[in-house]
Amino acid sequence: MKKMKIISLILALVMICGVFAACGGSTTEPPADDNAAGNGELVYPDSDKVDSAGSDADVFPAGSAEAIVAVCGNETLNNILLNYYYWMAYNAFIGMYGSSFIDPNTPLSEQYITAEYTFSTYLALSAVDMWYTVAIYKQLAEAANYELEGELKEFMDGFDATLEGAAQTAGFDNVEDYLKSFYGDNSDYESYYDFYYNYCLATSYQTSIQQDYVAKYENETINTIDIRHILITPESESTEAWDAALEKAEEVYEDWKTVGTEEYFIELCAEHSADGNAQTGGIYENVVPGQMVVPFNDWCFDPVRQTGDTDIVATDYGYHIMYFVETNDEPYEDYPYYLADKDMTAFHEAQMLSFPIESHAENIAIFRDIA
């Protein structure tokens, strides 16, 4: 059931790549990432590479369609392929956050997602990152002689007919013109088919690995927990402010120890906690693994944890005075997936070291914009 849901999500993401608002004909050249090199990590361009007028145009000249943007093992990313991933990233962004963040009448190269970076920069780097993951798992799939099956195989077997039908519905005489209307004159059916096929192959193989990890943990169980905390936040990011926050947390903790009851913890929480649940005693109920930030999570789900346990835990938010309420009778049904995700993250990080990315981001060129 869960596997079918994952495959359906893969298909949904793939399908939206070709279904977006018609683009204009301008070419944008997002600033790119000079700093990424062979370490499996993409880095945003330095902020001083974006001039005060907000223009990206002079940072890196537009590359040719065939210019190599990145290399990973036996796989290469040129600007034709990059543009397919660029619009996949665009539609993924719209699908996740909606369209209210983007003005359809202004080029993406002139709209800023942060103070320093335009949407075109963000999407171009996201596209390279997406391709990088595909490049890794495509090579792993081929080494394992893995082939598409089920829904994804049916999808690719019917790809020609699906694309031809979409072109006709949109009023185009042929698939090539249909693709060019979205991706520019450099797009063609062969490269587009390869893009889809490799994406499906890589993502399907990645999913199969994750499912193997799920099977490994299928008999593992854990119950949800209830926890209270008092959050003491620093007033700034300075060392002095963090030291002061720790000192206050220790003072409140020592104050609680003079009484040592859950009721007094609730009283102190209302007085001192910076969290939004301060007036409800800092309670979080039915907490599941992975719901909280790592140090908080690890303290809560330590196997030795007992009702009434307390401590101070540091996170990026500040210092948490913890009070463990209880372990509930309710099991966390997705616990095998939580454990599998942790293993999958470690596996992916190892593959990034085995398949480093060689970046040539100065060659990036995006051939369409939305306005």
Q: What is the pLDDT of residues 107-132, one digit of tens each?
A: 999 999 998 899 999 999 999 999 99
| Residue 96: pLDDT band with limits 50, 70, 90 | very high
CA atoms of 236 and 135, how far apart (whole Å): 42
pLDDT at 152: 92
Average pLDDT over residues 342-353: 96
pLDDT at 46 over 80: no
Q: Could you read off the pLDDT of 285-333 as tens digits, one per residue?
A: 999 999 999 999 999 999 999 999 999 999 999 999 999 999 999 899 9
Going by C-beta distance under 8 Å and a sequence separation of 6 or more, which residues neighbour residue 291?
297
> Considering the chain, what percentage of its residues have pLDDT values greater than 70?
83
pLDDT at 143 over 50: yes
For the chain, give the mean pLDDT. 85
Contact 356, 40 (CB under 8 A): yes
Q: Could you read off the pLDDT of 64-80 as tens digits, one per residue?
A: 889 999 999 999 999 99
pLDDT at 10 over 70: no
pLDDT at 128: 96
pLDDT at 63: 74
pLDDT at 60: 36
Contacts 24+ apart (CB under 8 A), 184-191: 184/25, 184/27, 184/83, 184/367, 184/368, 185/367, 186/65, 186/79, 186/80, 186/83, 186/367, 187/80, 187/83, 187/84, 188/80, 189/163, 191/80, 191/81, 191/84
347 CB-contact burial (10 Å; exposed 0-12 / middle 13-18 / buried 19+)? middle
pLDDT at 83 over 60: yes
| Residue 22: pLDDT band with limits 50, 70, 90 | very low
| Residue 166: pLDDT band with limits 50, 70, 90 | very high
| pTM, 2 dp | 0.76
The type of residue at 82 is L
Lowest mean pLDDT among 55-69, 74-88, 146-160, 321-335: 55-69
Contact 40, 102 (CB under 8 A): no
What residues does each domain of the chain span?
A: 2-217+350-363, 223-331
Pull the structure tokens for residue 168: 């006709």
Choices 3.40.50.300, 3.30.460.80, 3.10.50.40, 3.40.718.10: CATH for 223-331: 3.10.50.40
pLDDT at 47 over 60: no
pLDDT at 361: 87
Average pLDDT over residues 156-176: 95
pLDDT at 54 over 70: no
| Residue 148: pLDDT band with limits 50, 70, 90 | very high
pLDDT at 6: 45
Strands (E), the chain: 68-72, 75-78, 223-232, 283-287, 310-315, 318-331, 358-359
Average pLDDT over residues 230-244: 97
CA atoms of 276 and 165, how far apart (whole Å): 52
Contact 193, 133 (CB under 8 A): no
